[in-house]
């Protein structure tokens, strides 16, 4: 079954935009590769953090909505994002995150390698997961983190579901995942021949209440497809499964199809191209507010409502 090859990006909800930049770029050392706006609600930023070149599969992105209430944990939401780190780098990250006063969990062994859980400044559950998976990755030479310790991109995502069977059948029968079995209370799935970020885990909790979006939560999970043709093929399978996908939406840097998987988590199918360098020089990615062409005529009013953002080195953040 051709189609999905792994995670494309995961979009979350943050509080203050400057705090978000200070943490993900300044502390985690990821590159802010695109500073844009939520195309459906242009009064807020859409900030993308990735590797040095903004490869698909390396980026976690945020809508900063500081006026929103905190997210409510529950069924039908992605509950945790795992970022890939090099094998043997956990001790470095324990020291770095402790130095910045982050709440750290105990180091765990997940699927055979070390995983370090912690919470970002706005409440998002994150994990730094050691992996030797082959992936597209370009170091960011200006990162606050040494090249050999840098975050390599997305590794996996965890969902809470009321009914494992429905989502499992959809993942394996429609999107092409392979069931890799349970570990403790988490049921694992992977794209068998996929690239970076090809993992997903589900915890079945039949009696839990429905979750709710908010700051510190995941908004949606985007899965990669190679091109427009493949996206249409996958969309057709999703439609046949009666998941009511949207039409293809042009996001300028990629094309998207959105739908709710059977348990209620918002999924997206996103193309690998044209990519973040289609409208910016690779050397200056993320340094200026970039708008898709259809919003450019509204630049003045959009900029008037967005709070200013500085690079961490200029914001007074502790790096």
pLDDT in tens, 90-103: 999 999 999 999 98
Q: Mind listing the pLDDT tens digit for each residue in 150-192? A: 999 999 999 999 999 999 999 999 999 999 999 999 999 999 7
pLDDT of residue 316: 75
Q: Tokens representing 16?
A: 């203050």
Q: For the chain, first and last CA: distance in Å?
A: 45
Q: For residue 92, what is the DSSP state?
A: H
Beta bridge partners of 100: none
Nearest-angstrom CA–CA distance, 144 and 147: 9
pLDDT of residue 193: 76
pTM of the model: 0.97
pLDDT of residue 310: 94
- Please determine, looking at this structure, whether the domain spanning 6-315 carries the CATH number 3.10.180.10: yes
- Residue 224 CB contacts under 8 Å (≥ 6 apart), including other chains: 4, 5, 6, 7, 8, 56, 57, 195, 270, 271, 272
Compute the C-alpha angle 75/78/83, nearest 5°.
155
Q: Are 200 and 161 in contact (CB under 8 A)?
A: no
Compute the C-alpha angle 5/153/35, nearest 5°.
105
Q: Is the peptide bond before 29 cis (omega within 30 degrees of 0)?
A: no
pLDDT of residue 199: 96
- With a cut of 70, which residues of the chain have pLDDT below it? 1-2, 194-195, 319
pLDDT of residue 1: 64
């Amino acid at each position: 079954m051709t189609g999905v090859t792994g995670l494309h990006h995961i979009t979350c909800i943050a509080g203050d935009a400057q705090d978000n930049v200070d943490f993900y770029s300044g502390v985690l050392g990821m590159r802010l590769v695109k500073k844009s706006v939520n195309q459906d609600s242009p009064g807020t930023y859409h900030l993308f953090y990735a590797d040095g070149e903004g490869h698909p599969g390396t980026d976690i992105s945020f809508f900063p909505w500081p006026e929103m209430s905190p997210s409510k944990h529950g069924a039908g939401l992605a509950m945790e994002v795992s970022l890939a780190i090099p094998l043997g780098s956990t001790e470095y990250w324990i020291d770095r995150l402790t130095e910045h006063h982050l709440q750290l969990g105990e180091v765990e062994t997940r699927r055979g390698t070390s995983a370090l859980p912690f919470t970002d400044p706005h409440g998002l559950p994150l994990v730094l997961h050691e992996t030797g998976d082959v992936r597209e990755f370009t170091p960011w030479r200006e990162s606050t983190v040494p090249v050999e310790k840098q975050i390599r991109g997305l590794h996996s995502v965890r969902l809470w579901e009321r009914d494992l069977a429905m989502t499992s059948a959809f993942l394996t029968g429609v999107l092409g995942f392979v069931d890799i079995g349970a570990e403790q209370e988490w049921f694992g799935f992977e794209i068998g021949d996929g690239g970076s970020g090809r993992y997903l885990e589900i915890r079945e909790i039949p009696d839990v209440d429905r979750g709710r979006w908010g700051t510190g939560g995941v908004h949606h999970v985007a899965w990669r497809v190679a091109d427009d043709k493949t996206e249409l093929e996958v969309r057709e399978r999703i439609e046949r499964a009666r998941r009511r996908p949207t039409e293809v939406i042009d996001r300028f840097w990629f094309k998207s199809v959105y739908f709710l998987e059977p348990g209620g988590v918002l999924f997206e199918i996103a193309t690998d191209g044209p990519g973040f360098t289609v409208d910016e020089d690779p050397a200056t990615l993320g340094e200026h507010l970039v708008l898709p062409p259809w919003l450019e005529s509204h630049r003045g009013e959009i900029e008037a409502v967005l709070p200013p953002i500085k690079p961490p080195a200029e914001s007074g953040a502790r790096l």
